């Protein structure tokens, strides 16, 4: 199975892309819990073994602890590493397993020509 990489979109404050692994588009939603608050369903923009980018929840402060719950009972912990008006980046405390990433990421769309 192959995946479609996401073009690098850098936070405005970051001079260069510090990513070390490919990120893949996702067409799904995830449950995101900030600290001990109730989880919220947010749009998952892209995902990698080491982190993800989601639509920005209210009170998404850099450094804040989060729990991300993906479909298929995959849950991981991490923290917000950047946040702008519409999106935020989350680094995972532990990398996702390859098989979990393949279930979460959107497969590359095949062309008919």
φ, ψ for residue 10, nearest 5 deg = -90, 145
CB 56 within 8 A of CB 84: yes
Confidence of residue 85 (pLDDT cuts 50, 70, 90): confident
> Residue 32: in which H helix or E strand, if any?
strand 29-34
pLDDT of residue 103: 82
pLDDT in tens, 1-47: 444 444 445 555 455 445 577 888 887 899 999 988 888 999 999 99
pLDDT of residue 9: 52
pLDDT of residue 40: 92
* Polymer length in residues for the chain: 113
Output DSSP code: residue 57: P
Percent of the chain with pLDDT over 70: 75
The structure's pTM equals 0.75
Mean local confidence (pLDDT), 73-81: 91
Cα distance between residue 89 and residue 84, in whole Å: 9
């Amino acid at each position: 199975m192959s995946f479609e990489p996401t073009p690098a979109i850098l936070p405005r404050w970051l001079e260069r892309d510090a990513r070390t692994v490919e990120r893949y588009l996702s067409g799904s939603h995830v449950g995101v819990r900030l600290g001990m608050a109730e989880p919220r369903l947010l749009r998952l923009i892209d995902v990698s073994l080491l982190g993800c980018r989601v639509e920005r929840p209210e009170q998404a402060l850099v450094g804040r602890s989060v729990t991300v719950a993906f479909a298929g009972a995959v849950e991981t912990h991490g923290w917000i590493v950047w946040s702008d008006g519409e999106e935020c980046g989350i680094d995972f405390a532990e990398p996702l397993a390859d098989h979990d990433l393949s279930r979460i990421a959107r497969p590359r769309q095949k062309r008919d020509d």
